[in-house]
Amino acid sequence: MNMIQAINSALDVMMERDPDVVVMGEDVGYFGGVFRATAGLQKKYGKNRVFDTPITECGIIGVAVGMGAYGLRPVPEIQFADYIYPALDQLVSEAARLRYRSAGEFIAPMTVRSPFGGGIFGGQTHSQSPEGIFTHVSGIKTVIPATPYDAKGLLIAAIEDNDPTIFFEPKRIYNGPFDGHYDRPSRNWGGHPDAQVPQGYYRIPLGKARIARAGEALTILCYGTMVHVVASTVAEMGIDAEIIDLRTLVPLDIEAIEASVKKTGHCLIVHEATRTSGFGAELSALVQERCFYHLEAPIERVTGFDTPYPHSLEWAYFPGPIRIRDAITKILKD
């Protein structure tokens, strides 16, 4: 399966297992979503369980909060992560606080799916990576898969979870892994080991990172599309780096991070979101607090820049192989 098919399979499995699971969003019904992640679900489960909404993100999430409080498990889709901001008040003030505010009487077991990230020439309004905003909000879990196998297992776990979860899908790797070389032919998921996705039910626990590559010389923390860009760059350089695919930012597998950095003594953090107050800043602080006496060089970050995502300078903004290679060289030189 590619990642779109894996997500569709996860939704299908959960809707079949649990009649309380409903899918909602702009064009998710008959049309099957702008990326076709919900294709065929309305035909199979009907318009009461897979239905289109008006173009109102605040309304979509507000309704989902109410559904969750009354026992349903809604999976709303925000068509692009760039348009999630009108829903922030409902997510932050209502969904994230409902369990606490009601002393556990009500919960908001909702999973908000949304494509995010750049690399597709989407410009400033179709390329943003706002994950850092949600990791700041207590009461919300944030999940970002990097492979079709993980996408299905993590989405099932998120839907089953009783807390609201933001499930960001890296749209650059929907149809295939990306090595960061935009001038090379694109690849699909065919034959990739992480595209071997079981048809039935399985789950990947939230808060458990994946060692995408074991190594001794350097720890690289990344997620989403960057896992593949980093892996390709490391292979081209011949560096014995350990690549940790975080999978979930909240809850964070800090134990895996700490064990790796203490082993390698070096740490590089890579993400596509803007640098200032990006999740990499939190990762850097955690590594510094827990692994200071094991570090042999300063922690480095390779990120997006503190600007809107530029259309004409897409690949200058994108944290590609050149910038990652320079950071690795600097760390190991120090």
**Considering the domain boundaries, does residue 222 fall inside one?**
yes
- 157-182 mean pLDDT: 97
| Same domain assignment for residues 41 and 166 | yes
Q: Do residues 229 and 321 lie in contact, with contact meaning Cβ atoms separated by under 8 Å?
A: yes
Show the tokens assigned to 237. 């350089």
**Considering the domain boundaries, does residue 274 fall inside one?**
yes
- 233-253 mean pLDDT: 98
Show the tokens assigned to 43. 């035909």
What distance in Å separates the CA atoms of residue 3 and residue 113, rounded to the nearest whole number? 13
- 115-143 mean pLDDT: 96
Show the tokens assigned to 28. 């998710």
Q: Do residues 250 and 141 lie in contact, with contact meaning Cβ atoms separated by under 8 Å?
A: yes
- 259-285 mean pLDDT: 98
What is the model's pLDDT at position 214?
98
Where among 166, 195, 224 does a domain terminate?
195
| Same domain assignment for residues 189 and 224 | no
The catalytic site residues sit at 126
| Same domain assignment for residues 272 and 299 | yes
The model's confidence at residue 137, banded by pLDDT at 50, 70 and 90, is: very high
The CATH number given to whatever domain includes residue 50 is 3.40.50.970
What distance in Å separates the CA atoms of residue 130 and residue 283, rounded to the nearest whole number? 16
- Range of the structural domain that residue 106 is part of: 3-195
The model's confidence at residue 68, banded by pLDDT at 50, 70 and 90, is: very high
- Residue 161: which of 175, 146, 142, 147 has the closest Cα? 142
Percentage, residues of the chain above pLDDT 70: 100
Tell me the pLDDT of the chain averaged across its residues.
97
| Same domain assignment for residues 157 and 304 | no
Burial of residue 71 (CB within 10 Å: 0-12, 13-18, 19+) is: exposed
**Considering the domain boundaries, does residue 204 fall inside one?**
no
Does pLDDT of 56 surpass 70?
A: yes
The residue ranges of DSSP E strands in 117-215, in sequence order, are 141-143, 165-170, 210-213
- 240-244 mean pLDDT: 98
Residue whose structure tokens are 């494509």: 115
| Same domain assignment for residues 282 and 317 | yes
User: How does DSSP classify residue 86?
Assistant: G
What is the model's pLDDT at position 178?
97
The model's confidence at residue 264, banded by pLDDT at 50, 70 and 90, is: very high
Does pLDDT of 157 surpass 90?
A: yes
The amino acid sitting at 1 is: M
| Same domain assignment for residues 154 and 129 | yes
- Residue 76: which of 112, 37, 32, 115 has the closest Cα? 112
| Same domain assignment for residues 215 and 190 | no
What is the model's pLDDT at position 334?
63
What is the model's pLDDT at position 253?
98
**Considering the domain boundaries, does residue 201 fall inside one?**
no
Where among 147, 170, 195 does a domain terminate?
195
**Considering the domain boundaries, does residue 53 fall inside one?**
yes
What is the model's pLDDT at position 179?
96
Q: Which residues pair with 111 in a beta bridge?
A: 165
Give the three-class secondary structure for 271. strand
What distance in Å separates the CA atoms of residue 91 and residue 249, rounded to the nearest whole number? 17
What distance in Å separates the CA atoms of residue 267 and residue 290, rounded to the nearest whole number? 12
- Gyration radius of the chain over CA positions: 19
What is the model's pLDDT at position 114?
98
- Residue 115: which of 224, 197, 198 has the closest Cα? 224
- 46-65 mean pLDDT: 98
Q: How many domains does one find in the chain?
A: 2
The model's confidence at residue 132, banded by pLDDT at 50, 70 and 90, is: very high
